[in-house]
Structure 1
Amino acid sequence: MYFGKRYKLFYAILAIVCSGLFSFFSVSAAAASYKLGLVEWLPWGTAYIAENKGFWKEQGLDIQIKQFQNYETENLSAFENGHTDFMLSMLGNTLEMINRNPDKTIIFENNWSHGGDFFILSKALHSLAAVKGKRIAVYSKSAPIGFFATKVLASANLTINDVKLIEIANTKHLNKAFKAGKFAAIISYDPDASNVIKEGSGKLLFTSADFPGVIPEGISVQKKHLQKNPEDVQKFLRGWLRAIQWQANPANRDEYFKILKQTMFKNTSYSQKELEAFHSGGKFHTDLESIQQNNTLALETYIKELLVFLKQTGRKIHSSNASDYFQTDMALQEAKLLFSVAAE
């Protein structure tokens, strides 16, 4: 009788354990896995918040974050060649890719550069006009940076044809070349751009904050996922927006930076003050009104302007219709549900 009860208890416990293991492996096996590409740039650290707080896991998604060293040669290249499924980037880069092959699309404008991109003049020069006929080093010669450069140069009645842009994708290498006096000016981004100013290698003339909305940034996806697994794309956006909402809460600021120090910035020693400065370098869309505005008319206007710029510089255009480059309906649908509930 005693042994019978003991064996019954043993089998009952075994059944519970097996059931739990079965459920665990079933959920794990069912989790859809995708790769997300990005580089070290604080406004894109939201990816680590979504991962760390379990917002994607709750949706049954396994998102593998691939943090690259070089923006153009690694992050953009990986997405264009299909090695990553989602990408965080300047949206003008996705536009260029779509013009080469329309198998990708923009699904969310997350923020725009708001002082994070710097135009720095050599300390040997006294004015912007002095760069005429000289070389300017940029971390990317792609459309969004070229567009920013035209805005800066226009303030001195110069055009992009008055200078020669030289690309150095790795911003640390760019800094080194600039410090050696090889360029009249550079266009770089934080955190490495701020280091140039601290070292006294150059003087800051303009940032992206001087031209609001000139460099919108956000999320793009391979179109095949929208066609085959639209629910997963929607879940991805749901998790992302939950992370945006969480990090926008001032009560979470310390934990927010702590997570970023352990993930995106794990090989650095940035102070809280420096992270605050990096955070202010991006204009985040954190309420329903700004999300709706920037993912409809504002995004369409930017695309139209950039298409004009691309045509002027002799680039190939896939379509002159701005709506062919973005599909933000899913993000807007999720934002309405999430942010309207939060406001009630």
Structure 2
Amino acid sequence: MSHFKRLWSWVILAGVGAIAIIALNTLPFTRSTPSPLRIAYNLWPGYFPMVLAQERGYFAQQGVQVELDRVGGTIMTDFRAGKYDGLALTLGNAITTNETEPIRMVMAMDDSMGADAVVAQSQMRAIADLRGQSIGATLGGFGELFLERMLAAGGLPRDAVTFVESDPSEVPEELRDNKLQAAHTWEPHITRAVADGKRVLFTSADTPGLITDVIFFKEEIARDRPDEIRAFVQACFQAIEDWQANFTEGNALIAQALGLDPQEISLEGIRLLTQADNRERFNPNHPSSLYRNAQLYTDFFLRVRAIEAPPNLDRLIDPSFIQP
């Protein structure tokens, strides 16, 4: 091929390339929309600030899309199957989840300050009266540790009672049918049992910080979408302050979103945790530190073989998300 023909070929190719570039530049530009953060929770008032944040538009204000899903007993199965990016559950649940699904704990939502309790038959007037009796809890979970703390407070060793597997939502019926002498449960089941003549022996007000509800995300989500998670956390802090300042209005919005009666929504026995509270919880040296109570759970779960190895708490508990 002559020098002229080679040069002419390059001119033609350059022209075709320029036309292609112009054509591409004239096509309408579409930006891919990020998928929302998918978060599951159950019907516990401590998680309702997320609902209020959605209703008030705080997630949108912070620039994050969030999809909330209220789930029952399939919440862990669905999470492990990849249906959700994050969950709202207890600190104890976070530690057992991390055993098989690496996660990052990004926020502490609330402390149970009386909303969990051990409810007993009316003749059980003191913890010491439980000696030789059957007491119920979700074995291998935080309820079993809660019962252990109660026994220690009453001066009873663990082997002074018989631990029985029990669903907290069924405790009022199990007590009524005399299947158990005492069991761990939470509101509204405490109120139901007391209305049936049962007695509260011990509450989470006696174990501050032990039953803390947290938000956690899968490790890869926390790694790949940190700005969105940080925006989610800030919106939740906004909602907590809003609800505390406008409780009646907040109740109405939450009730409407969840299809509940506003009178059914109560924060009695629950302390919502603000951003200032979270700075304390994520401080390893603070008395109410998540690290301290996570270690209590770790020791317990190892003892009852609910987990095989201790988690790296410095990796599991991530304070980077609570700052704006």
Q: TM-score, normalised by structure 1?
A: 0.77
Is the CA contact (8 Å cut-off) linking 1:78 and 1:84 kept in structure 2?
yes
Q: Aligned residue for 2:248? A: 254
Q: Aligned residue for 2:84? A: 84
Change (3 A) 1:282 1:318: same
Counterparts of 1:329 and 1:187, CA distance in 2 = 34
Counterparts of 1:47 and 1:157, CA distance in 2 = 40
Q: Aligned residue for 1:205? A: 201
Deviation, structure 1 residue 76: 3.3
Deviation, structure 1 residue 304: 1.8
- Are residues 1:280 and 2:268 paired? yes
Rg bigger for which structure? 2
Counterparts of 2:85 and 2:140, CA distance in 1 = 21
Counterparts of 1:66 and 1:170, CA distance in 2 = 22
Stretch of structure 1 that moved more, 38-47 or 255-264: 255-264
- Are residues 1:222 and 2:218 paired? yes
Is the CA contact (8 Å cut-off) linking 2:302 and 2:310 kept in structure 1?
no
Q: Aligned residue for 2:279? A: 292
Counterparts of 1:296 and 1:280, CA distance in 2 = 27
Counterparts of 1:79 and 1:259, CA distance in 2 = 27
Q: Aligned residue for 1:110? A: 109
Q: Aligned residue for 1:121? A: 120
- Are residues 1:309 and 2:300 paired? yes
Per-residue CA deviation, residues 73-103 of structure 1 (Å, 9 max, x unaligned), is 32333334432211111111111121x2252
2:257 to 250, 254, 263: 263
Q: How many corresponding residue pairs?
A: 293
1:319 to 310, 317, 324: 310
Q: Aligned residue for 1:340? A: none
Q: Aligned residue for 1:101? A: 100
2:49 to 40, 46, 49: 46
Is the CA contact (8 Å cut-off) linking 1:50 and 1:243 kept in structure 2?
yes
Counterparts of 1:93 and 1:186, CA distance in 2 = 19
Counterparts of 1:113 and 1:102, CA distance in 2 = 25
Is the CA contact (8 Å cut-off) linking 1:31 and 1:61 kept in structure 2?
no
Bigger helix fraction: 1
Counterparts of 2:203 and 2:116, CA distance in 1 = 5
Deviation, structure 1 residue 44: 0.9
Q: Percent identity?
A: 17
Q: What pairs up with 1:51-70 in 2 under 5 angstroms?
A: 51-69=54-72
Per-residue CA deviation, residues 231-268 of structure 1 (Å, 9 max, x unaligned), is 2222221222221222222xx1111111122134x24x
Q: Aligned residue for 1:233? A: 229
CA RMSD, aligned part only?
2.5
Give the aligned residue type for 2:283: T
Deviation, structure 1 residue 133: 3.6
Q: TM-score, normalised by structure 2?
A: 0.82
Counterparts of 2:161 and 2:68, CA distance in 1 = 37
Counterparts of 1:310 and 1:204, CA distance in 2 = 26
Counterparts of 1:87 and 1:206, CA distance in 2 = 28
SS at match of 2:146: helix
Is the CA contact (8 Å cut-off) linking 2:140 and 2:301 kept in structure 1?
no
- Are residues 1:75 and 2:75 paired? yes
Stretch of structure 1 that moved more, 103-112 or 312-321: 312-321
Q: Aligned residue for 1:242? A: 238
Segments of structure 1 that go 5 or more residues without pairing to the other structure are 1-21, 335-344
Is the CA contact (8 Å cut-off) linking 1:30 and 1:60 kept in structure 2?
no
Change (3 A) 1:121 1:320: same
Counterparts of 1:159 and 1:55, CA distance in 2 = 48
Deviation, structure 1 residue 114: 0.6
